[in-house]
Amino acid sequence: MNLFLVDGFYLLAAMLFVGGIKGLTRPRTAVRGNQMAAIGMLVAVLVTLLDKSILSYEWILGGVILGSLIGTLLATRIQMTAMPQMVALLNGFGGGASLCVAAASFLGLAGADGPLGLVALVAICITLLIGAVTLTGSAVAFAKLQELLPGRPLGFRGIRGFNLVLFVAVLALAGSLISGSGDSSTLILLTVLALVLGVTLVMPIGGADMPVVIALLNSYSGLAAAAAGFIMGNSVLVVSGALVGASGIILTRIMCVAMNRSLSGVLFGSMGEAGGPVMDADEVYAGKVKSSSPEEVSMLLESARRVVIVPGFGLAMAQAQHAVRDLADSLERRGIEVIYGLHPVAGRMPGHMNVLLAEAEVPYDKMQSMEEVNALFEQTDVAIVIGANDVTNPMAREDKGSPIYGMPILNVDKARTVVVVKRSLSPGFAGLPNPLFARDNCLMLFGDGKKAIMELTAAVNETV
């Protein structure tokens, strides 16, 4: 294909990528944005496949068939509750693919075409480092989200110093490769150390900080792809990787602000550190927890003017989004205002709750951000919390020894009455007790989230 046409189609693909990301900034345009990005990727793939430098399509065809089968299987079998784990895996696959491209380029091109140029060597080293860190870091994130590893921060004394030594060693090996004094053994050692670095960077991060880590690893996978684009001389890969990397960093920054964390804390694996002892669960609850029933809660709702529903990971686990929508419809038929209060890190990945509620066709204008809904809680009659443990925990405001101290939360405790739908008093993903459960204005509605909400809806309808 003519080089001018190739560059023109790559430019079109890049414009579709930018338009797609722009569309993803708003729920109403998200589907169209996703479609634009998909068309852009199709254009880029087709143009690349028509490149005259491709001599054989057998391996490409085999990869397409195998990848399509795996992707279809994952898309149809993975539950919504497991989406954070799937996102973590996809980030890791992206980093692993870039890592393989870099290694193959060094081992293959150097021998075939003589010494590699400076730009190619720098790009290979950057791709190796970022790709390896993304691969193993995402694997650790997956294991924590899947509860194969404990969700709390893990590590050992001096882990930050260990990470620094690893990073310096990787840079030294990269310098050796770039200068031309390194060989394939240097490449292997660099890759191994970078893989270890990915593990030790993510292990100390856990609990409520995991959504931030997922956003950061997504950025890493984009940066690795961009660096791989320099190796291959593929401009559209550079552009698309840079877009993913930049948007991932911006999202990470937004999530850090929402968590009251520092970006350097994420980058160097120093999040989730406590400043002192955390309150014991028995001390927090001290026999003050009050259990309720759907009938009692329905009587509270009967006289309410405004109800705020606060979804969390418990809603996702119970697949209760449609039941919640039915409850809201029943309340609105009685003239009660119903809105949804969404914390930016509720669930286990950015936007988790937005996706669930959109699946249940909850109107976008009823989904309020943390800043918007916090201004309304003092004028709210009933706040219904469904599994949103960490993002409603007053420890973030009151307990300086808590790992989540300083994190902005949804101030549901300021509502006239708080109803918490939960299976038990077990802690959330951060592993912390929640003093909210023992507050005078809090009632616990124990049980499976979906079943409890359906029973509450039935009780509300009976009072009509």
Q: pLDDT tens digits for 366-399?
A: 998 888 999 999 999 999 999 888 889 888 888 7
Q: Active-site residue 113, yes or no?
A: no
CATH number at residue 411: 3.40.50.1220
Q: Is 266 or 114 the better-scoring residue by pLDDT?
A: 266
Burial (CB < 10 A; 0-12, 13-18, 19+), residue 289, is middle
158: left (phi over 0), alpha (psi -120 to 50) or beta: left
Under the banding of pLDDT at 50, 70 and 90, the label for residue 205 is confident
Q: At residue 154, does pLDDT exceed 60? A: yes
Lowest mean pLDDT among 8-12, 130-134, 153-157, 282-286: 282-286
Q: At residue 254, does pLDDT exceed 60? A: yes
Q: Is 15 or 52 the better-scoring residue by pLDDT?
A: 15
68, 109: one domain: no
Give tens-digit pLDDT for 281-318: 666 676 688 999 999 999 999 889 999 999 988 888 88
Give tens-digit pLDDT for 419-445: 999 988 887 766 778 889 989 899 999
Sign of CA dihedral 334, 335, 337, 340: positive
301, 219: one domain: no
Rounded Cα distance between 395 and 161, Å, is 30
Residue 125's closest CA among 138, 106, 107, 111? 106
Residue 265's closest CA among 246, 251, 252? 252
171, 27: one domain: no
Find tokens 């009933």 and name the residue. 382
Q: Of the listed 390, 399, 413, 440, which one is catalytic?
A: 390
Residue 114 belongs to a domain: yes
36, 149: one domain: no
Domain count, the chain: 3
Structure confidence at residue 276 (pLDDT) = 46
Structure confidence at residue 59 (pLDDT) = 82
Residue 225's closest CA among 246, 243, 244, 241? 241
The stretch 248-269 carries a mean pLDDT of 74
239, 124: one domain: yes
Q: At residue 42, does pLDDT exceed 50? A: yes
Give the strand order in the sheet containing 382-386.
367-369, 337-342, 306-311, 382-386, 417-422, 442-446
Q: In the chain, what's the furthest Cα-to-Cα distance?
A: 82
H helices of 146-180, where?
Answer: 159-179
Q: Note down the domain range covering 5.
A: 1-77
Lowest mean pLDDT among 205-214, 247-256, 327-336: 205-214
Alpha carbon distances (Å) from 403 to 161, 277, 396: 21, 9, 8
User: 155: helix, coil or strand?
Assistant: coil
Q: At residue 1, does pLDDT exceed 70? A: no
β-bridge mates for residue 310, sequence order:
385
Max mean pLDDT among 22-26, 116-120, 451-455 falls in 451-455
